Chain A
């Protein structure tokens, strides 16, 4: 049989026909961008930030041009400004109108070729920070709005802090804030995105005001209907088949409906069926796939060990207690986490353990003061590892 695999994508951002677009996220984005608001997309890894941004970049509405870039390798201010400069230049160069406007600017700087990486603009004598300002001044006179989406921005701030010191990091944040408030910048929208909570990075710099003008864009998990649509989209053309009731069961099993987990589940299900030359996915298969994913992730152990290695005993015990409670419930409220801190008595303030360890490091996800496991597979593993009786009084 000529087996047709589903169009899954694992790990890399989903684009084109493998991306499941949620119009309300795009609409929310464009609405805010149209108001000239600068945006912040902060969500754990695997939630699908990059895919959303790439979709926005490729499907700009009229009056906007946009560029997405993962800038995580920038580790000092110079590299950061150079990257921004190149990105902006690369973007506007694509527009005929801007090309004409910028002709003199480019000529004066002896810049000929621009490629997608911007690497060719490597004149060491240029001060890219100033150049960026100059460029923005010219671009700022136009009506078209320019969107710069900078992915993994908090990593860059952290790297700068590490390499050039706290002041340098604060300086970058200051510069960006000033730019956002500069009139000549009014047609440029900054979208800062990252998986390490930017709040966390900023709080370590003790400068919360430097980002409090950014408007958050929320990318939540899929709802059941969306999850079903995504499954349909993935397997539409594939050999494997999943009946309605089995789909519902799969969705129930995955429970935390991030596109990534659905993609993984479909991919592994397809692999199983292909291996066994069967078309129809059964309920037993779904259980098998779920267990297989957990079994093959032998590294879950490290998620526990890591806490043990890095945290003082009491903090460790508190975190384990919280994780076990989250593993055995759908949602674990903050109030209970607080109450539990009076029993486990961690050394570090409980909220800081929740935010800076469990959420930041990808164990839990927080929504409306409720906590849950980010990964359904880690949750299932944790359930087995820490049975419910551990948390019974």
Chain B
């Protein structure tokens, strides 16, 4: 067993082995070094969980005072790490300090208890005076290192705490550096003597770099090379360990040891073993809560996902108001986290996922049934995505090679099937293989989830029958981030008229590259007309590179004559994506450019018309001519018909448009053309004119 304990190490060893928490050390020692303790004396408390390094810090400070000649000339450090258990009165504390000073050759005249037995406070004062005198004699001040100071303050009566504080206020003999697992009420209750009296330094979880540094040091120090290898090769797992142990050095070692010794385990038994390992840490966490807080934590853990107060109130059978208060407390304690839900209500969930897992696995709940679910959760918490992929590959290969027993397959396949780190196709493949393998045993067979494709078939059927809620439930049984799942969820909500939810899911599907979702989303956004949203959406679409997505969207804007300024930014890009060589590319580009006020492109119009004329692309020609007329390009259009080379073939292909154009021109030639218009075309031409005028009014309303 790898084990590390600070107490009992020599000064030299503790200095050598002090690797992390350097800044927390430095903060206190710099004050100790700077301050001669003749003016204000700053007292400190380190607050951190068990195993966070408090005792090591206190021991390190002691070692610094012992070994730094500048410091030990004027200071003496007393560390009551072992002796604090029996401190129930303030005089117990001073007695222990005096004893310790005596062993360090301080001349203490201990007062006789018999003289004070009727007034213990006087005895306390007398002891203090003895200590003060002894310190003065040696010209030294005391640095008192008190681990678990919260327990000491709790054991001592309130009136003695008053005396304690009074001594600190009235004299300049000692400085306290405490360690505590929590911020006790002595610090935060307004009527307590030590209300906001200490400078609190919180020992936060170590970050990834600190963890690495520590493990590498241990590896060398404990001559355990596997630790170093682990750091080098298991980035993901290292992070999982850090999260699991909340970055607390001591507990981290336990987990790392487990990983080194059994690196390739991933089954349910392994999970149980890890959960057992975590028990002391989590048990302590739970033990620090009030019975009501414990109940609420446990109830939330069974939900796994974030839950709203109302739903929780129902299952926990705790009145909403009380529940809200408890939820607030637990959130403040960092046990829960608040998630913004729909509407103004918040939802809550257990912050540390592994703690949640531990709760549901050890504190009751429907265990057997959900073994596979826990296993999935475990796998996803414990392993980095790429490691999980590796495990999947191994498992999938073993399955193919028939190296997996049916009972194990019936548990492991669903566990992997529910992981979001494998694809839907891989999921279906695993299920298919396992089904073939266990088909003779109905019990195992029934434990297997349906394949994704089966779920989709069923969902589509349900949508057709208008059974939306059922369809949604079915879709949620697919754990993978499947794009089609998101699209269907969007579609169902769209059908239900819940546009807000529909947009949310379409967004997800669009992110996953579903083209239809992009187009529908574009439609919805353009319909809603929020400029920022539309612009943001364009930016995204332009980045995703969905084929013709941009152009489709710009055409939507064009059709609705909205957000020209956004379209203007993307027209060129959209046309380029559409493909410059596409026969309709230029005409579309031209119309859109006219719409946004970019007229330069029309210089190429004649060449384009020429090509189109020769190719006899009637519809495209119509599009360009009508579009040009709508956007007030009557003279250009007229010129095309008058062009020496182009004119005649053009008149042949789009004759009604020739007469239409003539109606927009006020010249002798045009008048002549109008007069020569055959009567059978009159209706057609009139209808085109009306359409153009109507569209002009639509695009240029200020003129109408």
Contact = CB atoms under 8 A, between A and B. Distances in A.
Contacts of A315: none
A272 B421 CA distance: 36
17 contacts: A9-B42, A11-B196, A11-B199, A12-B197, A16-B38, A46-B196, A68-B170, A73-B159, A79-B121, A115-B133, A119-B125, A120-B129, A271-B27, A271-B201, A298-B333, A300-B332, A305-B329
Q: How large is the interface on B (under 10, 10 to 19, 20 to 34, 35 or more residues)?
A: 35 or more
B43 A301 contact: no
Contacts of B183: 298-299
A79 B27 CA distance: 40
A1 to B, nearest CB: 11
Given A72-B162, A73-B162, A117 B132 contact: yes
A75 B157 CA distance: 13
Chain B interface SS verdict (over half) = helix
Contact of B159 (A75, A116, A299, A304): A75
A274 B31 contact: no
B122 A122 contact: yes
Contact of A301 (B40, B128, B201, B328): B328
Interface in A1-49: 3-5, 8-19, 45-46
A70 B165 contact: yes
Given A116-B171, A119-B125, A11 B197 contact: yes
A269 interface: no
Given A12-B41, A296-B202, A301 B171 contact: no
B599 interface: no
Nearest to B175: A12
Interface stretch (B186-194, B244-252, B426-434, B557-565): B186-194
A275 interface: yes
Nearest to B190: A362
Interface of B: 23, 26-27, 30-31, 38-43, 121-122, 125-126, 128-129, 132-133, 159-160, 162-163, 165-166, 168-171, 183, 185, 187-191, 193-202, 325, 328-329, 332-334
A297 interface: yes
Interface string A144-187: 00000001100100010000000000000000000000000000
A152 to B, nearest CB: 8
Contacts of A13: 40, 169
A344 interface: no
Contacts of B159: 73, 75, 159
A267 interface: yes
Contacts of A305: 325, 329
B101 to A, nearest CB: 17
A10 B200 CA distance: 9
Nearest to A18: B40
Contacts of A68: 170
Interface string A98-123: 00000000000000000111011010
B188 A16 contact: no
Nearest to A79: B121
A198 to B, nearest CB: 15
Contacts of A16: 38-40
A271 B195 CA distance: 22
A324 interface: no
A117 B190 contact: no
A168 to B, nearest CB: 17
A71 interface: yes
A109 to B, nearest CB: 19
B42 to A, nearest CB: 5
Interface in A64-87: 68-73, 75, 79
Given A5-B31, A73-B121, A302 B188 contact: yes
Interface residues of A, number: 56
Given A11-B198, A298-B333, A117 B168 contact: no
Interface string A287-313: 000000001111111101100100000
Contacts of B201: 271
Contacts of A120: 129
Contact of A15 (B39, B133, B334): B39
A5 B42 contact: no
B196 A260 contact: yes
A15 B40 contact: yes
List the 5 closest pairs (A to B, CB-CB), nearest first. Answer: A16-B39, A362-B190, A73-B163, A11-B197, A299-B188
B328 A385 contact: yes
Given A117-B171, A260-B196, A12 B43 contact: yes
Contacts of B31: 5
A70 B200 CA distance: 23
Given A8-B42, A122-B126, 4 more contacts: A10-B199, A12-B197, A15-B40, A117-B129
Given A10-B198, A116-B171, A117-B171, A155 B40 contact: no
A72 B197 CA distance: 15
Contact of A45 (B163, B190, B202): B190
Nearest to A11: B197
Given A69-B170, A296-B202, A3 B26 contact: yes
A151 B39 CA distance: 18
Contact of A72 (B23, B122, B133, B165): B165
A134 B122 CA distance: 24
Contacts of B129: 115, 117, 119-120
Nearest to B207: A275
A16 B171 CA distance: 15
A355 interface: no
A45 B196 contact: yes
A285 interface: no
A274 B162 contact: no
Given A70-B170, A274-B27, A296-B202, A361 B332 contact: no
A73 B121 CA distance: 9
A341 interface: no
A3 to B, nearest CB: 7
Nearest to B171: A116
Query: Chain B CB within 10 Å — which of A15, A72, A120 has the most?
Result: A72
A10 B329 CA distance: 26
Given A45-B190, A116-B171, A10 B42 contact: yes
Query: Chain A CB within 10 Å — which of B40, B125, B188 has the most?
Result: B40
B41 to A, nearest CB: 6
Contacts of B128: 117, 119
Contact of A304 (B121, B196, B198, B325): B325
Contacts of A299: 183, 185, 187-188
A151 B329 CA distance: 35
Contacts of A362: 190, 195
A9 B63 CA distance: 24
A4 B39 CA distance: 19
Given A18-B39, A301-B328, A385-B328, A45 B195 contact: yes
